[in-house]
Chains A and B, each alone.
Chain A
Amino acid sequence: MAVAARKTSGGGRTDRGAAAETAVDPAVSEVPANNPPPFTEAEDLSAYHEMLLIRRFEEKAGQLYGMGLIGGFCHLYIGQEAVVVGMQMAANEGDEVITGYRDHGHMLACGMDPRGVMAELTGRRGGYSKGKGGSMHMFSKEKAFYGGHGIVGAQVSLGTGLGLANWYREDGKVALVYFGDGAANQGQVYESFNMAELWKLPVVYIIENNKYAMGTSVNRASAQTDFSKRGVSFNIPGEQVDGMDVRAVREAGQRAIDFARSGKGPYILEMQTYRYRGHSMSDPAKYRTKDEVAKMREERDPIEMVRKRLLESHKVGEDELKKIDAKVREIVNDSAEFASHDPEPDPAELWTDILVEVRA
């Protein structure tokens, strides 16, 4: 009965599955018209190194997952490297970073030890969380990285609290709160926007629009796909940024961070980016065409863009880039080697870190 009723009354609706049939989603290939100032050679070299480290690290993590050394859920950041690297170039030391579960790139960009991150992925003693957190849950107060959270959108209210603590302590720091286009549809995001603007908290909300909320494209999941407008009714300024161009990210990031640090309140940056891999390692990403991914890799790859600039504009030699490549591979291989041989956690760890005073 219920099924029949839905069929007859549903004539006015658009077919919600239709967008999935489109070969290349038009929203995917749109690029915001940012025109950022050029990087110096040193800046491009630094960005190249940082982004390459994330990419190679993630590729290695993918391999270790395939070998069964990494279990659980493992979300790779490949394709999105320019976002966190550009933002970190704009941030001050001590500005806090918090994100969801696609967090490896953020941790590396915050300067966390690749060995400690990889060893957490393999669940070893030397991992940042001593093997108790895994891919989605790491933390480093020293590097101002506040996790690593597995519930979609929850880091937005927590991150607002980081800004609240900055405001409370008047320490001049800004909280950088990362979440995706999928998390942008969670309710607590808007509670957070309201509170942050009401109290003029020093928070930059960075919406990493990688075009897919798990397996659902932005057009099929979001009524308003311009995420920079999501703060309009709270009077929070926002802008769309070419998140594949590290220069555009750094420039917009600087503007947003300066705004927040000066006491004017929060700022929203929608980073138009793209993830090359599936949502997690267990996702074959059949909801999009191979052409769409190939086109993005070919035309918009954040690392290739910098590499090209280094070779053509800065006249950096291939040899020098090869040296960077080799150095990055060495760091990544070392982390994998460490993470493969570091001992597994002692069973006694099971009972530590639950409460200050542990009582069975």
Chain B
Amino acid sequence: MVPAAALLAGALALLSLARVATAFERPLAASVAQSSAITHVTDEVGRQVSVPAQVNRVVTLSPDLTETIYALGLEDKLAGDTNYCDTPPAAKLKPHIGTAQNPSLEAIVALRPDLILASTSINRRETVDELARLGLAVYATNPHTVRGVLASIENVATVMGAATQGHGLVVGLRARLEALHMRLNDLPLAHVFFVVWQDPLITIGQNTFIADALKWAGAESVIIADQNWPQISFEEVVRVQPDYIVFTSNHSGDTGKLLSELRSRPDWKGLHAVELGHIVNVSDEIARPSAGLVNAIEELAHDLHPEAFSGPGARYAPGLQKSTPEFAVTAVCGEEHAACAR
């Protein structure tokens, strides 16, 4: 009988611990925010979020959001970011909360954020749910197209209380995209194979913002897949024979080295694109849904359609536009001057 009693005693001890742990779960949510001014917003995945009208401490859970915060000039409010955040380099010096996929919730709480920014492009839903359970305000972005990326930048700016900066930034980016569209409009799309990973061979699916970015750059992925990061057979690449093969620059060194490496491989060297040297090494900004994506699109467009940017047909001076804000500022000033003249 006594062993049974021992078991019972142990079980009761466990049960009481469970009670302690669960009894406090419900009041947690009620403690959400004590500060006076709260705005209720719906984030991009349809969650209701209560955000303080004045956000002073923000934690970003993905590198693209960190980049957006810097692009908006709000870095003083950035309390922490992930181990991956390296753009701009100053982001590396901020306190880190772990990797984007397995962050430490404790480390996030320790930074006392009044807003947390997450992105469906990299974060896990579980992380967002857990943070919300703790009563923290989490705004999730969900970009699937280039226009979606720009909209996300504006949305983030708005919840951060910086709608004007956000609008200015996005207007400039839109203008650059439109200019690019004008140049590339009449050209046939280049058929490209986008390499996410070489071994095993992984490419992009049609629902990713990268697939959409390719279209803005006057290109089209030769692989049609519903999954976001499909692993595909090399035979399929041989079958479709892409015009160009696009690598990202964090993938390997310079293009020449990459090309000679590919030409030494029995499978890759047989592709027409490799024979012709149609290899493009685009900036890894192409893989981040933030303002830098437009740089990567322009860079890719130059590499794939050089004819559109040179010769007598070119409408204005070719060259990469690396600095976003200047373009935006000129455009705005131009309008003002026009207004003044009138």
Q: Do A and B come from one complex?
A: no
